[in-house]
Amino acid sequence: MSYWAPIVVQWLHILGGIAWVGGAAFTTFVLWPMIFRRPAPEARALFTDVARPIALYMGAAAQVTLWLGILRGTWLGPIQSFDALTGTPYGHTFLTALVLVVVVIIYGATSGPRLERRVFDGDAFREGARAYVRRSNALLLTLLAAIVACMVLMRFGL
């Protein structure tokens, strides 16, 4: 194994995480407020234009982060056995992060397709659309913050 492999994988993992968390933050704090400031027909057109590219971007960033994280923690990291996974603080944090990442990916994949129906009713906003988007984004950002916290803990061997 090359000396550079863990470094390259680590940095690509970090960049994937930055893209994923940054994309979620941008969507929460910039895009949705822009959408809700527009008249509903214009907002729906904006949503339609950006929904697919954002979904592809976020999905790709999530996948890069997940698979490189698994690679970094196992083949290139301290999880070399089932005992290391289940019997060490690092292994427990790794498993927690893995479960959280899978939960976020499933949540994003299942909530994304429903989003338009939950926000728009023809050329009008549905009642409660803002509250739904606020709750959904708060959940997503909370889960992503928990994943980032796991990454920090693993950096210190926990």
Q: Where are the domains of the chain?
A: 4-155
Cβ 66 vs Cβ 60: under 8 Å: no
From CA 58, how far away is CA 47, in angstroms rounded?
A: 15
CA count, 13 A, side-chain hemisphere, 37: 6
Given this model, what pLDDT does residue 1 score?
62
Per-residue pLDDT of the chain (158 residues; tens, 9 = 90+): 678 888 999 999 999 999 999 999 999 999 999 999 999 999 999 999 998 899 899 999 999 999 999 999 999 989 999 999 999 999 999 999 999 999 999 998 888 888 989 999 988 999 999 999 999 999 999 999 999 999 999 988 88
Given this model, what pLDDT does residue 158 score?
83
Q: Cα 125 to chain center, whole Å?
A: 26
Could you give the angle at the alpha carbon of 156 between the alpha carbons of 155 and 158, nearest 5°?
100
Helix (H, G, I), strand (E, B) or coil at 124: strand
Which residue blocks in 32-81 are alpha helix, DSSP H?
32-37, 40-73
Q: Phi first, then psi: what are they for 122, rounded to 5°?
A: 65, -125
Helix (H, G, I), strand (E, B) or coil at 120: strand
